[in-house]
């Protein structure tokens, strides 16, 4: 059985001919190696999970590993992890691009899905669509990290003339509390939104609370759509429309890249953009 190792150095993990892949989960993310797990199970590969919090964790990695998979965000990539990646011969980053020539990258492509949502709004004659997101600062560059969701929102909604800067909010943490405050601000403003596009399902919880407190109904008074399709989204009242990210596919692609590169070394990394799709539920319909 091939073995994928996640930071828990296992003395029994390395057997002759076995591929060892270390999977590092950057601290603070909600879903660590759930993406590769299903794919690994189908390939009879074992995964041991580890969170990365500081450079001391890197000392736990097996020297016999064939590859490294890092799951997380640029906001969790500090100088120690960046220097570590620069030296890696076979590494795959899921969900963020460290901008290194030697690293493979697997990311979700939000463009088509956000374009589909923008067109649906335009078809319905809805033009006052608020955006609620957050902002991360790169610990390496000291600059704002470009969120592909907000960037694609501005681009796709702008193409159709329905991007409204005055009801666009994207700063601070990606938390329900922040989204709650932003929503209250939008609902009390002069340009009241007919709909709200939210950066994550987690933030949508705060949006729902603020709308409820304003005695408004979803979707009759205001439509809500989000990103990520976390399990909770289908059980919200009403069920939340959202963009589904194919995490199992992303994990499978990362495993394929790591395994193939271990067998046939190449110097340059590749970037794979995995398509997403929109799940329309009662918060929009």
Q: What is the pLDDT of residues 127-180, one digit of tens each?
A: 999 999 999 888 877 888 889 999 999 999 999 999 999 999 999 999 999 999
- Prior bond of 219 cis (ω within 30°): yes
pLDDT at 144: 87
Is the pLDDT reported for residue 37 higher than 70?
no
What confidence score (pLDDT) does residue 72 get?
81
Q: What is the pLDDT of residue 256?
A: 86
Work out the pLDDT band at 30, boundaries 50, 70, 90.
very low
| Residue ranges per structural domain of the chain | 3-107+246-274, 109-245
- 57 touches 23 (CB < 8 A): no
pLDDT confidence bin for 230, thresholds 50/70/90: very high
- Beta-carbon neighbour count of residue 182 at 10 Å? 27
Q: Which CATH number fits domain 3-107+246-274: 3.40.50.2300, 3.90.320.10, 3.40.190.80, 3.90.1150.10?
A: 3.40.50.2300
Q: Is there a shared CATH topology between the 3-107+246-274 domain and the 109-245 domain? A: yes
Contact 112, 276 (CB under 8 A): yes
Q: What is the number of other CB atoms lying within 10 angstroms of the CB of residue 10?
A: 14
Q: From CA 163, how far away is CA 25, in angstroms rounded? A: 35
CATH 3.40.50.150 fits 109-245, yes or no: no
* Averaged pLDDT, 191-220: 97
Of the pLDDT bands very low, low, confident and very high (cuts 50, 70, 90), residue 49 is low
Peptide bond into 268 cis (omega under 30): no
pLDDT at 17 over 60: no
């Amino acid at each position: 059985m091939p073995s994928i190792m996640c930071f828990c150095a296992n003395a029994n993990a390395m057997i002759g001919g076995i591929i060892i892949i270390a999977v590092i989960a950057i601290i603070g993310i909600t879903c660590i190696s759930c993406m590769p797990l299903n794919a690994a199970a189908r390939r009879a590969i074992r995964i041991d999970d580890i969170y990365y919090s500081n450079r001391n964790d890197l000392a736990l990695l097996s020297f016999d590993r064939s590859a490294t998979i890092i799951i997380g965000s640029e906001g969790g990539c500090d100088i120690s992890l960046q220097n570590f990646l620069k030296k890696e011969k076979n590494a795959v980053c899921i969900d963020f691009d460290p901008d290194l020539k030697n690293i493979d990258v697997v990311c979700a492509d939000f463009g088509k899905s956000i374009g589909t949502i923008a067109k649906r709004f335009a078809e319905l004659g809805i033009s006052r669509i608020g955006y609620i997101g957050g902002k991360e600062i790169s610990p390496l560059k000291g600059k704002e990290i470009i969120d592909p969701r907000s960037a694609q929102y501005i681009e796709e909604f702008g193409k159709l003339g329905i991007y409204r800067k005055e009801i666009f909010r994207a700063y601070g943490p990606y938390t329900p509390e922040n989204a709650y405050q932003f929503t209250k601000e939008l609902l009390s403003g002069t340009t009241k939104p007919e709909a709200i596009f939210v950066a994550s399902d987690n933030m949508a919880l705060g949006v729902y609370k603020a709308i409820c407190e304003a005695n408004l109904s979803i979707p009759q008074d205001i439509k809500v759509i989000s990103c990520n399709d976390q399990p909770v989204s289908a059980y919200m009242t009403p069920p939340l429309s959202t963009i589904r990210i194919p995490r199992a596919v992303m994990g499978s692609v990362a495993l394929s890249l790591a395994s193939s590169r271990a067998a046939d070394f190449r110097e340059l990394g590749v970037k794979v953009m995995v398509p997403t799709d929109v799940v329309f539920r009662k918060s929009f319909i």
